[in-house]
Amino acid sequence: MEVLSRMLDSGLLEGKFSAHPLCITPRLTHLAFADDLLVFSDGSQHSLLGISGILQTFHSFSGLDMNPSKSELFFGGYGDSEAAVIADLIGIRIGVFPSRYLGLPLNPTKLSLATLQPFIQKITKQLNSWTTKFLSYAGKIRLIVSVVYGKVNFWSQVFVLPKGFYKKIDNLCSAFLWKNTTSSARGARVAWKDICKTKEEGGLGIRSLEEFATVFRLKQVWHLFTRRGSLWVMWLDHNIFGRRNYWLMDSTPRLSWNIRKMLEVKSVFQRLIKCQMRDGMKASFWFDYWTSLGPLIELFGQLGPRELRISRNASVWEATHEGQWHFPNARSHQAEQLQICLSSVAPPSPLRGADWYQWKQPTGTFSETFSSKGTWMQIRQISPHVAWHKAVWFKESVPRFSFIHWMASHERLTTRDRLLQWGMNVHGSCVLCDSGLDSHDHLFFKCEFSRSLWISLAGRSSPNPPLSLPLASMWVLGVHSSPPHYASKILKLLLQTAVYMIWKERNRRVFSADATSLSATKILVDRTMRNRLISFSPEESVTTISLLGFYFGCISTPL
């Protein structure tokens, strides 16, 4: 392929074909990867015959031939009949967008939902294949994050996808999670937007696809600023952002969909990028953040360029004269501020190398690397923290217990009081004690069954059972012990195990004629605790008591 590359490049120089008008600088005759080849030209008859000739010469000595039945011609700016005549002459059919390159759809305009339909169908099929496997909620979440979101995010890195597409994927995931189907997400217990919050904020820590799509756009612009050697950056520099730089350009319909999306993140991008000014050639005087005052256009406002007599598209270099800063006399507070600030900044000099950029990290510092996660943390919509998150998610937790505890903390288990509120005609009393209402408030832990379970397991630490799940969650987080945190770890695990077992027993009694006695449930919780704790060996040395040993000694009482 290397030989063919050279033949195409020299073919252009020898006039065997003419370049595409947008592929002159940088010179771009083709893109090739494995056996996928894209050749660019002005589309004239002369050029297409010239390219055919080069491919035939290549065939004559390499044996590698172009397959006309698998090849297509794409025209831009040609009339239909003109294109048809040329295609006929060359013997290659006219292609229709979207085409595929390296397995991805190639389209000159915005990718529509219809174009993405095969991809949506693929995800639907995958989710459907999992519905037969009786997965726990926690298992389903893992599959959604690693497989579905992994694939979609890969696509988001390459393409700007429509919002409707993300919505469709989220609906499919929501339906799969709550209903074990892909047909409808109606009646989801927790809204998907709440699931896409961090665990600290009461979500499941899934990163919203749409927010991550913005991260990928920011990354593209970051590459535009920092990847000097890349062909893509060279092409953009010359053909799109060449005369007016990124900061000065407005998003207009004349530009391609991808470029418009890059321009639409401009204000967010400006908050996150900082310029280390050296030779002052690349740094934008007005728009880059290169002094401690931030982007100067924000300090001076739109009249700044007139006041300082420095044009909007000026580089920092243009604010100097004979190696020194050069400004008119300060006539405003801002101009004074700038001059004071610059008195301690060395003027740009070619001896100091090229300007370079840094990216803001969640800690507020700047570094030379772009972190997708760190960027997402800075741009995502933030919600208040929930007090109970540490009681639900912790190292020793059991994923399926955590999930039920999480749902109970949101009061989203389908207790009968909720069904009554929705107007359903159901018997509303608690199946565990037959005296209270089947509600979150009663089940955890006002119910006689739950109270008794809690007292026998945690009674040594807390003789009075907590009166509600939020209070219990707060209490287990604040318990002190020696060694530190041991009691809290055990009580957290005990709480989620109890919540899970109570809910499971409640369901058994509601949906089948079976019932497990209180004493058998106590034994079950105790055995589950032991099985879980045995996998955690002493943390520091063999002489340190293990979590299981601590459980025997301080928490558990003989049942």
Nearest distance in Å: CB 442, Zn ion = 6
Choice between 295 and 436, CB closer to Zn ion: 436
Per CB under 5 A, does 453 bind Zn ion? no
Residues across the chain: 559
Q: From the centroid of its chain, how far is CA 522?
A: 43
User: At closest approach, how far in Å is the CB of 465 from Zn ion?
Assistant: 13
Nearer to Zn ion, 62 or 414 (CB): 414
Binding to Zn ion in span 105-164, by CB under 5 A:
none
State which residue, 197 or 506, has the beta carbon closest to Zn ion.
506
- Token look-up 């459980």 returns 551
If the CB atoms of residues 335 and 432 are measured against Zn ion, the closer one turns out to be 432
Say which DSSP state 199 is in: G
At its nearest, how many Å lie between Zn ion and the CB of residue 199?
30
User: Buried b vs exposed e over 307-320: b needs ≥16 C-beta within 10 Å?
Assistant: bbebebbbbbbebb
Assess 437 for contact with Zn ion (CB under 5 A).
no
CB 149 within 8 A of CB 208: no
- Smallest distance, Zn ion to C-beta of residue 441, A: 11
- Complex with Zn ion: residue 209 or 447, whichever CB lies closer: 447
Are the CB atoms for 418 and 189 separated by under 8 Å? no
Q: Which of residues 395-434 bind Zn ion (CB under 5 A)?
A: 430, 432-433
Alpha-carbon torsion (434, 435, 440, 446), positive or negative? negative
Cβ at position 448, least distance to Zn ion in Å: 6
**Which one, 105 or 428, has the nearer CB to Zn ion?**
428
Query: In the bound complex, what is the minimum distance in angstroms from residue 437's beta carbon to Zn ion?
Result: 8
Which of residues 440 and 489 has its CB atom nearest to Zn ion in the complex?
440
Q: What phi, psi does 74 have (nearest 5°)?
A: -120, 125
95-131: b (≥16 Cβ within 10 Å) or e: eeebeeeeeebeeeeebeeebbeebeeebbebbeebe
436 counts as binding Zn ion under rule CB under 5 A: yes
Residues 4-63 that bind Zn ion (CB under 5 A): none
Min dist CB 503 to Zn ion, Å, is 12
By DSSP bridging, strand 104-106 and strand 99-101 are: antiparallel
CA distance 524 to 517: 10
Query: Which one of 127, 310, 408, 447 is in contact with Zn ion (CB under 5 A)?
Result: 447
Nearer to Zn ion, 525 or 548 (CB): 525
Number of residues in contact with Zn ion, rule: CB under 5 A?
Answer: 5
String of contacts with Zn ion for each residue 198-237, x by CB under 5 A: ----------------------------------------
Q: CA 85, 90, 94 angle in degrees (round to 5)?
A: 65
Strand ranges (E), 354-453? 356-360, 366-367
Query: Which ranges of 310-395 would DSSP assign to H, the alpha helix?
Result: 333-342, 372-379, 389-392
Please list every residue from 315 through 334 that binds Zn ion, using CB under 5 A.
none
195 touches 204 (CB < 8 A): yes
User: How many C-beta atoms surround the C-beta of residue 53 within 10 A?
Assistant: 13
The window from 135-143, 441-449, 467-475, 537-545 that contacts Zn ion (CB under 5 A) reads: 441-449
Please say which residue, 262 or 432, places its beta carbon nearer to Zn ion.
Answer: 432
CB proximity list for 411: less than 8 A, separation 6 or greater: 440
Q: With CA atoms as reference, report the closest residue to 109 among 241, 255, 293, 9.
A: 255
H helices of 248-398, where? 257-264, 266-272, 296-300, 304-308, 333-342, 372-379, 389-392
> What is the distance between the alpha carbons of residues 423 and 116, in angstroms, rounded to a whole number?
40
Identity (one letter) of the amino acid at 163?
A: K
Closer to Zn ion at the Cβ: 263 or 430? Answer: 430
Residue closer to Zn ion, measured from CB, 381 or 507: 507
Please identify, using beta-carbon distances, which residue of 24 and 433 lies nearer to Zn ion: 433
User: Please, which residue, 452 or 528, has the CB nearer to Zn ion?
Assistant: 452
> Least Å distance between CB 557 and Zn ion?
23
What are the residues facing 273 on neighbouring strands?
359
The CA distance from 295 to 289, in Å, is 4
* Least gap, CB of 512 to Zn ion (angstroms): 18
Residue 3 is inside which H or E element, if any?
helix 2-13
Minimum Å gap between C-beta 454 and Zn ion is: 13
Give yes or no for a contact between 300 and 308, defined as CB atoms under 8 angstroms apart.
yes
Point out which residues bind Zn ion (CB under 5 A): 430, 432-433, 436, 447
